[in-house]
Amino acid sequence: MTKDFQGKVAIVTGGGAGIGRATAVLLAERGATVVVADLHAQTSTEAVAEITAAGGVAMAIVGDLSDQTVVDNLVSETVDTFGGVDVLINNAGIMDDMSGPHEVSDALWERVLRVNLSAPFLLTRAVVPHMLSRGHGAIVNVTSEAGLRGSAAGTAYTVSKHGLIGLTRSGAVIYRDKGIRVNAVAPGGVTTSLEVNVKGDAMGLAVIGGYNANVGRIAAATELAEVIVFLASDAASNVNGAVVPVDNGWSAV
Ligand SMILES: NC(=O)c1ccc[n+]([C@@H]2O[C@H](COP(=O)([O-])OP(=O)(O)OC[C@H]3O[C@@H](n4cnc5c(N)ncnc54)[C@H](O)[C@@H]3O)[C@@H](O)[C@H]2O)c1
């Protein structure tokens, strides 16, 4: 495996499970020092153990990334321990309950927007000064099919993922001459433990499929990781502001 991330430090949010875990493992295999940032201590520790058992270097930082103090601690611990930050993968996210605008509670709206949109903003704001001081950096935001269309989730999730594309494009333009690239992937259906609460249905895709028959094949998390890591790599040196669907063609239908 090419060690093209050797010497680079990467923060992966939601790195304890699903797409984030697969991305953290792949970045470490490619030589990156990885900081697994996640809400859950057990899965974060397991991810770090998986990476170190394979000969990689990783550290877990546990906390709710919608909290500014957790974000500040994550970035300062990373810089103090490893000397800087080269890559930020804003992956942590939560699903909504598929409710429409007239049904969304204040609590659901605030939580989903806080985790899926404000946290990536807080992370970006905290990390970019360190990237600017190094003269390079790559940020990859994990949005969703729900960032591209209105039929892939409920209102709160859809708005949060559309907003994350705005954060991606804004950063791409503002830092384009400063060596920092900001891109996004838009996953379709992926086999993970994404926390869904779909009105009694165990899996959100069953409901999504009810009004969108074009979902297509459900991907493995590793298929997302490959594209995320490409966008974070120097091989994507002229890719900036892109939103790449990784969705078996769902967005092409
Ligand atoms: N699975 C899918 O079908 C799918 C489709 C489109 C987009 N996505 C997006 O992919 C990303 C990863 O989701 P996944 O499918 O791997 O789900 P997952 O639930 O398996 O993993 C999400 C991880 O994020 C962590 N997390 C959640 N809230 C957090 C918080 N406040 N602070 C820190 N960590 C937090 C969780 O603990 C978990 O480890 C999400 O942004 C999700 O919206 C997933």
Ligand 1 atom nearest 17 alpha carbon:
39
pLDDT at 87 over 80: yes
More confident of the two residues 160 and 100: 160
Q: Read off the pLDDT of each residue in 12-29 and give the average, rounded to a whole number.
A: 98
| 65 Cβ closer than 6 Å to some ligand 1 atom | yes
Name 174's Cβ contacts closer than 8 Å, sequence gap at least 6. none
| 92 Cβ closer than 6 Å to some ligand 1 atom | yes
| 40 Cβ closer than 6 Å to some ligand 1 atom | yes
The rounded Å distance from CA 147 to ligand 1 centre is 15
pLDDT at 6 over 60: yes
Q: For residues 175 and 160, is the Cβ–Cβ distance under 8 A?
A: no
Give the residue whose CA is nearest to atom 23 of ligand 1.
14
Reply yes or no on whether 211 is catalytic: no
pLDDT at 197 over 80: no
| 155 Cβ closer than 6 Å to some ligand 1 atom | no
- The full set of domain ranges for the chain reads 9-252
Indicate the average pLDDT of the chain.
93
What are the distances in angstroms from CA 186 to CA 135, 154, 248, 249?
Answer: 27, 16, 11, 11
Q: Which fold has domain 9-252?
A: Rossmann fold (3.40.50)
Q: Read off the pLDDT of each residue in 186-202 and give the average, rounded to a whole number.
A: 67
Per-residue model confidence as pLDDT tens digits over 21-51: 999 999 999 999 999 999 999 999 999 999 9
The closest alpha carbon to 183, from 209, 147, 155, 130, belongs to 147
The rounded Å distance from CA 94 to ligand 1 centre is 5
pLDDT at 110 over 90: yes
Q: Give the global pTM.
A: 0.96
The rounded Å distance from CA 221 to ligand 1 centre is 11
pLDDT of residue 198: 42
pLDDT at 195 over 70: no
Ligand 1 atom nearest 19 alpha carbon:
16
pLDDT at 158 over 60: yes
| 15 Cβ closer than 6 Å to some ligand 1 atom | no
| Chain CA centroid to CA 95, Å | 13
Please work out, in degrees rounded to the nearest 5, the angle formed at the alpha carbon of residue 72 by the alpha carbons of 95 and 236: 65
